[in-house]
Amino acid sequence: MLNSQSPIPLYHQLADIILAKIRSGEYPPGSRIPSENRLAATYGIGRPTARQATDLLVRKRMLVRKRGSGTFVEESRKEVDLFSLAGTISSFHRKGISIKTQIIEDIRMETVENDSDNPFSGRQVYFFSRLSRVEDMPVLIEDIYLHASLFSGIERFNLQGRSLSQIVEAQYYMRPTGGKQNFRIGYLTGKKAKNLDISSDIPILAVKRFLHFEQAKNAIYSELFCRTDRFVFAQTIGGIADD
Residues 195-230 have pLDDT tens digits of: 999 888 888 989 999 999 999 999 999 999 988 776
Domain 78-242: what homologous superfamily?
Chorismate lyase-like (3.40.1410.10)
Residue-wise pLDDT tens digits, 30-63: 899 999 999 999 999 999 999 999 999 988 778 9
The pLDDT of residue 165 is 86
Taking all residues of the chain, what is their mean pLDDT, rounded to a whole number? 86
Task: List, in order, residues 6 or more apart from 199 with CB less than 8 Å away.
Answer: 193
Task: List, in order, residues 6 or more apart from 239 with CB less than 8 Å away.
Answer: 81, 83, 84, 85
Q: pLDDT-derived band of residue 22, with 50, 70 and 90 as boundaries?
A: confident
β-sheet with 100-111: strand ranges across: 100-111, 124-134, 137-147, 220-226, 204-212, 178-186
pTM of the model: 0.64
Q: pLDDT-derived band of residue 83, with 50, 70 and 90 as boundaries?
A: low
Q: What is the mean pLDDT of residues 89-115?
A: 82
User: What are the beta bridge partners of residue 101?
Assistant: 132
The pLDDT of residue 238 is 47
CATH match for 10-73 among 3.30.70.1230, 1.10.287.130, 1.10.10.10, 3.40.309.10: 1.10.10.10
The pLDDT of residue 206 is 92
What are the sequence ranges of the domains in the chain?
10-73, 78-242
